[in-house]
């Protein structure tokens, strides 16, 4: 009986399949449509698709981001019949893992957050991991973004060999040049009118050490922060080349933009830095176990147990200053920015944050459409960047009559905060300032930066380092070996140690790299003269 039932079911299935073939014709695609399907550019809005966005950061676990995405995806479904999923890449060993993920080309990633100065955008472009973005496709699927970037003329900085591969975050004003945040109340006690030089910083540390406070560490560093570049910017007019070496070894002087130099390899400045760090170590600026410490300096600064916090300008005026005003009224946290002595500040390239498409994406057209919405549509933008109104933020009027946002009563960041890490398409036309930000301080330092800035002059150059890749890998290994010991004064004779460091740089081909970059820079200027 059982066998009879199975036979009947099989016959019914075959009959149904036959009817389906008779009653419904399968769509026949043209050769051009088949080509578009194969490359991911065929866009049939009748099919609901999932777009996966890769970003840097730790995945949230509180459920708030998922709740926000549910609301956002209803809008995306209505507008372009798509939904968005975020793929988070943790910070630990992020660069090698990032490159590994992209090299798989398995079609599981669509939108890719990237950067030319810290996320190997050009390396992945050359490896074929990013898709070409034709102007036709940009106009068709991301028209608002295309029009805005075109108006600023920034597409040239997104091209490799004449083709567009990146979408720049070029409509968002930010300063992320680094420096030390410090307490002005303590600086005044130390007899200083603020901290405006490395010499001032040393005096500030010396005063804090003299107080001999139990459990207090002037700078509770973990030993993984590179401040050598900050000292070089303060001691010279050095300008770092974007996208050549993670340690920023190569650049030009602002007084001579035609010659490639490396103050890490030549000159006295890096030696003087090493000697100063040895002095700081001997003074007791950081813990004795600084290279293995797991301390959180920001937490220590917030609790009054550390005298500085090292990060960038934007962190100072949007987070730390306001938090310290609440915790320690009158602390008057200031910002000593790297390069302040020489007024050496350079604008970022517009590809410091950029969006790319994975070359293996099967939904490139729809991915662009989704990106265009979260970058330009007010409702989508606020959801993706601020969360759900009433839960993550509320809109209030500032003293200037403009809209600001604040956190609702009872808001708890751990429980209620969203994480999208969208650093690849923020838009000043839609940004809302945090009512708690220190915007007077921002306006003040913005005037200083703007008055002294140099616009990064080489945004259209994609440095070809393929034929010196071995040298650059070995140079990075040498830096990894020496930099931490130099930066945290873990050497007996700083000058001799830097000499040894430079000898290894020479051994592994730093002069070859400098010559290769110089040849390209000469070609760039020759082309411009034609």
pLDDT in tens, 248-271: 999 999 999 999 999 999 999 999
pLDDT cut 70: percent of the chain above it: 95
Q: Which one is predicted more confidently, 460 or 82?
A: 82
Superfamily holding 31-165+351-386: Periplasmic binding protein-like II (3.40.190.10)
Q: Where does the pLDDT of residue 130 fall: very low under 50, low under 70, confident under 90, or very high at 90 and above?
A: very high
pLDDT in tens, 14-36: 444 444 444 445 778 787 777 78
Q: Which fold has domain 178-348+458-529?
A: D-Maltodextrin-Binding Protein; domain 2 (3.40.190)
Identify the top-confidence range among 5-9, 124-128, 438-442: 124-128
Arithmetic mean of pLDDT, 96-103? 95
Question: Is 528's pLDDT higher than 90?
Answer: no
Q: Where does the pLDDT of residue 339 fall: very low under 50, low under 70, confident under 90, or very high at 90 and above?
A: very high
Extents of the domains making up the chain: 31-165+351-386, 178-348+458-529
Nearest Cα residue to 450 out of 150, 177, 168 = 177
pLDDT in tens, 420-470: 999 999 999 999 999 988 999 999 999 999 999 999 999 989 999 989 999
Q: Which one is predicted more confidently, 316 or 6?
A: 316
pLDDT cut 90: percent of the chain above it: 84
Tokens of 389: 């109104």
Mean pLDDT of the chain: 92
pLDDT the model gives residue 529:
86
pLDDT the model gives residue 1:
43
Pick the range with the lowest mean pLDDT from 42-51, 126-135, 189-198, 255-264.
42-51
């Amino acid at each position: 009986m059982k066998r009879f039932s199975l036979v009947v079911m099989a016959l019914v299935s075959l009959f149904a399949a036959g009817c389906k073939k008779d009653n419904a014709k399968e769509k026949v695609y043209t050769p051009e449509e088949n080509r578009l399907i194969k490359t991911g550019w065929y866009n049939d809005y009748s099919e609901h698709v999932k777009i996966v966005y890769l970003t840097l950061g730790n995945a949230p676990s509180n459920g708030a981001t998922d709740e926000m995405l549910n609301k956002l995806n209803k809008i995306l479904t209505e507008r372009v019949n798509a939904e968005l999923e975020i793929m988070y890449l943790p910070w630990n060993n992020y660069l090698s893992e990032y490159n590994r993920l992209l090299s798989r080309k398995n079609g599981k990633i669509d939108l890719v957050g990237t950067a030319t100065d810290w996320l190997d955008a050009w390396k992945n472009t050359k490896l074929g991991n990013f898709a070409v973005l034709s102007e036709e496709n940009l106009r068709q699927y991301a028209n608002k973004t295309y029009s805005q970037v075109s108006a600023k003329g920034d597409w040239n900085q997104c091209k490799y060999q004449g083709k567009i591969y990146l979408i720049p975050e070029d409509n968002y004003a930010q300063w992320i040049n680094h420096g030390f945040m410090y307490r002005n109340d303590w600086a005044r006690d130390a007899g200083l009118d603020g901290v405006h030089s490395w010499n001032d910083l040393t005096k500030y540390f010396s005063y804090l050490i003299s107080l001999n406070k139990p459990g207090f560490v002037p700078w509770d560093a973990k030993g993984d922060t590179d401040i050598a570049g900050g000292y070089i910017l303060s001691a010279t007019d050095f300008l770092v080349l974007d996208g050549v070496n993670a340690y920023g070894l190569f650049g030009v002087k602002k007084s001579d933009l035609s010659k490639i130099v490396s103050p890490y390899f030549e000159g006295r400045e890096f030696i003087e830095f090493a000697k100063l760090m040895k002095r700081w170590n001997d003074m007791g600026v950081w813990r004795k176990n600084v290279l293995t410490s797991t301390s959180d300096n920001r937490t220590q600064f917030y609790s009054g147990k550390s005298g500085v916090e090292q990060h960038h300008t934007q962190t100072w005026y949007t987070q730390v200053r306001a938090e310290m005003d609440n915790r320690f009224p009158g602390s008057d946290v200031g910002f000593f920015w790297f390069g302040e002595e020489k007024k050496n500040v350079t604008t970022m390239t517009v590809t410091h944050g950029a969006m790319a498409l994975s070359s293996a994406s099967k939904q490139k057209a729809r991915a662009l459409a989704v990106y265009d919405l979260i970058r330009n549509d007010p409702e989508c933008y606020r959801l993706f960047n601020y969360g759900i109104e009433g839960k993550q933020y509320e809109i209030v009027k500032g003293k200037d009559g403009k809209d600001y946002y604040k956190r609702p009563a009872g808001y708890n960041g751990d429980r209620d905060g969203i994480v999208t890490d969208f650093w690849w398409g923020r838009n000043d036309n839609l940004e809302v300032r945090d009512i708690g930000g220190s915007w007077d301080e921002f306006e003040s330092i913005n005037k200083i930066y703007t008055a002294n800035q140099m616009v990064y002059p080489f945004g259209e150059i994609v440095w070809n380092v393929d034929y010196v890749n071995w040298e650059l890998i070995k140079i990075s290994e040498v830096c990894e070996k020496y930099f931490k010991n130099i930066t945290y004064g873990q050497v007996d004779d700083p000058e001799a140690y830097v000499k040894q460091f430079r000898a290894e740089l020479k051994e592994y081909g730093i002069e070859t790299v400098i010559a290769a970059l110089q040849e390209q820079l000469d070609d760039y200027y020759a082309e411009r003269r034609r």
